[in-house]
Structure 1
Amino acid sequence: MAICQVVVSCAQSIRNEKYIGGNWIDFSVDAPPTEVFDHNVFPNQPNVMFNYIPTSKKIAFSTYFLKTDTLSLYRYTIILDHAPIKLNQSFEGLNVYEDKFNPQLNNVNLGAYNIANKILTILLYKTSQPDKVFKSIYFAKSIQPAKINSITKGVVFDDGGIGTTADPDNIKDILLSNDTRTLNIVIDKSDIDFLYCVMIKDQTSGKIIFSSTSWNYDNSHYDDVSDDYLPYVSIDKGIFKKSGDYEVIIEPFIQGGTSKAAIEKFITKHKISINFEEEKFFSTKQLITSGLLFALIAGAITGGLAVYIKNQQIKKKVAAEAKQKEIAQLQLNSVRSQLNPHFLFNALAGIQNLMNKNEIDNANRYLSKFARLTRNVLDSKELISLIEEKTLLDDYLQMEQLRFGFRYKINASADLDTENIEIPAMLLQPFVENAVKHGIAEKGKDGEIAVSFEKQVSNLVLKITDNGSGFDTTQTYDGLGLALSKNRISLLNTVYKDTPFILNIQSDTNGTMITITLSQWL
């Protein structure tokens, strides 16, 4: 068997000052060394290692810890073809051997597995750092060339909005208009999207003018057939300096001994022709001036110029506000992208807690709620109805109720049209999660949480109360959830200037009440 050693976290070893146990994995496969391409890392996937072993049928693993490490503080998950076969397991109780080459290390056996034509993934983390997950992928399939699904354009519309346009029947002749901002290369989704690198080659000079592995996933490229988001790389229009012929090259980023000839069969090449829309030379000022000269009304020329200058000032102001709104929206997306993994890791900790207490039925019910909740959390809709927000909160609170046994209620005023009134997605969930974790988790069945949606004249008032022990609202805490939520409300006020969001937090030893007022929202 060929023996291959993979370090999951780049540039870490026993000699480093900062050592994280379990991040050093040995694996052995029944394939010659020439068919093992290990230690592939990617800038778009931190703490991820990809190992290409196309002819392997069996694989065995072991990992290493310092003898001073406490094995009960570490967890591992093994996934085979998307199905977990070891889920959030502790290293405690596994077979441990002293490393014969380094007396400071212990070797822990993780078992052997059949991997022919499969994908096996190992996840490792320390319980004190659950958001720092080391991931190692073992790919025992033949890599397929990426398939280009479409080529779309990111544009700015006349009203200042942004979006995408595409001609599904034409992915060769690309017209870049004055409104075009980006060119998007969209591929069919696969298990290894992150492996591919997109390059643009200028056919005239033969030079590579663009290279990226930054794949995006959002609802701008949603596929109804697969019911999933298609990966795409966004290319700034500015890299194309002139009209002409270019080539899109998509190749897997594999190292570890692969030759250029071996990689060639995995490469996708697609030629495109870029053309720029001709600039419009007749401005509003010139048309107005020509009309005034034709009518020989000299006095109206001054008036026309004044109107033009005023319009230009208004356009600049509108453009600046649209740009500011666009920046705030991007920042909002960034904040939400941080809230999503924060929620998911907390939920996984809940599943782990139930499994550790051997409450299998509750863990299964928790997982059922978690599946539907995860789909809603990962949905990138900006606004959702009050009834959808209520359903999301209901799922989450029922899920946590299995762990802590508290009571809760969610009420909406009868004069609210909950199916048609919309609010920013997941506006309340982080605050409700904070009430559970830091408010009533320790109170058990005596804990109470109340959520209400109320109408006050033209304002929409959202309240969350709990009977926990409260906290000092003047202090800054280490947790991400509350800080990110406050930052998100600040950004929402940049986007919705005419309907400001007002956050008020009151807390004492009898509990906490959080009020979010959406001014002039109704």
Structure 2
Amino acid sequence: MKTLIIIFLSSLICVVVTGQVVTDQERTYPLSDTPTALDANGNLNSFGVTQLRSKITLFLKADKHTKSIRPFNQIPNDPLGSIVFLDGAKQVEVTTRLKKDSLKYYRYSIIENDTNVIISNNTLRKIDFAWPDGSDLPGHLTMNLQIPEVTGKKITIKIYRLPEVDRITTLIIYNKPFERIKILTKRLISDDRTSKIRHRKVMDLGYYPEIFVDEKTNGIALSVKKTDLDFAYQVYVFNQVEKTKLQYRYVPNNNWDYNTRDGNPIIFIDKSYFGELGDYEIKIIPDPILLGHRYTLESSAHIINSKGQMSFNVASLPGVFSIREMGIIAMIILMAAICIAVLIIERNKKKTRKKVMQAQSKTEAAKGELDQIRSQLNPHFVYNSLSGIQNLMNQNETEKANSYLNKFARLTRNILNDQELISIQDERNLLDDYLTMESLRFQFTYEINIIGDTNFPNTEIPAMLLQPFVENAIKHNMAILQDKGKLLIELKADQKNVILSLKDNGQGFDTHKTYEGLGLKLCKKRIELLNQLYKECPVSMTIDSGTKGTTVTIILENWL
């Protein structure tokens, strides 16, 4: 019975997985708009060929002899690595644009065909163009990397900026035919259960055209001769299901092992790829997408030779159940599995409902505390504003007091709306109104900047996060400095984060000291509650203060 179950499960996996294949006639790679070396006017095209994460942008021009160019490819497992495929090029020009005063920090190397080091950690010396004042890049230089002749070669460029020696931008220029792959060894891997200690059994297939697959079989391991572009090759398993119908499956690239003793990579092909009886063929070919044209696997015959493929037949073992018999058993087990699954799902639903109710209760409690904190912060703001109006009236500055009062009325209406979230633009307007009022009293100068794309001002954030710190800056610094006081407020986008910052030129304060005022305590408590409500978008705050001023920074992560 135990053997029956094991055989059934192995076959069931094969049936399910094999049902996901597509025929060779159905699968093709669409023809994209492949770039060319020359533009419509016959001029050489320039391509930006580095990854977006790289801080060093490289530009490439191929000569007029280039038949095709595929410039936008990432090197697997290298976020700063790119590869450009060329056909027929003789010369290429690679340049970068750097600030003149930072040129001395850059180093680069050039390696030819992985073995010949042309340039090693040199500085960039050849200037192609100096960008003048008034241009798009004033103070920059276009530097030429002086690439040698590339006919039939693989050229590897590595460039970095000191001291970041571990952030190397890599560019591979591949201007040669793909190497024909060669399979060195073919081994069938199985579990040896003849003893109590379980270990692997390896059988060298050699030229055996027939293999047997059972519950002990793990798969086939192929060792192939190393090429100069190992990651560019893919493995396909073909199966002749009918006389006129060929189906195949792709083996994922993460099945490759490149860290072997002899340096030759090994690909492991699980037995699920050849679990059914029949004729199979394994082919190792370059990635069709990298070839750069409309492509089917059958049209790859000119790239595959007999040393890059393996043919075999999976034969049946005595006493193995037929597919029909296994299908009946599968249906019985499937029905039982469905019943069990329904019971498990119902049980999980009850647990989920309980967790949701608990989470909702915690959320409502956090919202209540937030409202309480805002109700404490709002009077603090109102008292400060009324104090400013009183001072202006006492000084008989009626016109300023009227202007102040109008701004105060608009601010009060917005505060009474009691919105927890507010757009970046509205937050900026509230701050501007308040600072306009206070600058009438103390004659300081201020600046508010929104830094981001056109949609950034519409992003909603918790309202009045910076307001308490603005009030403190005015009370403790601007009121003293008067017309010498300066405030800089920035609301900016940084990748997926929103960063709010306030900087003044006051005398600073001891951030480690405990003060009697409630403003800072309430702000910290509010941030703590916001983090309970928005767990996937945490909010953090830092305060840096010294003799030259104070900077408050609030970061809202993943708000964009």
Q: Normalised by the shorter chain, which TM-score bucket?
A: 0.3 to 0.5
Report the TM-score, using the length of structure 2 for normalisation: 0.41
Bigger strand share: 1
Normalising by structure 1, we get a TM-score of 0.44
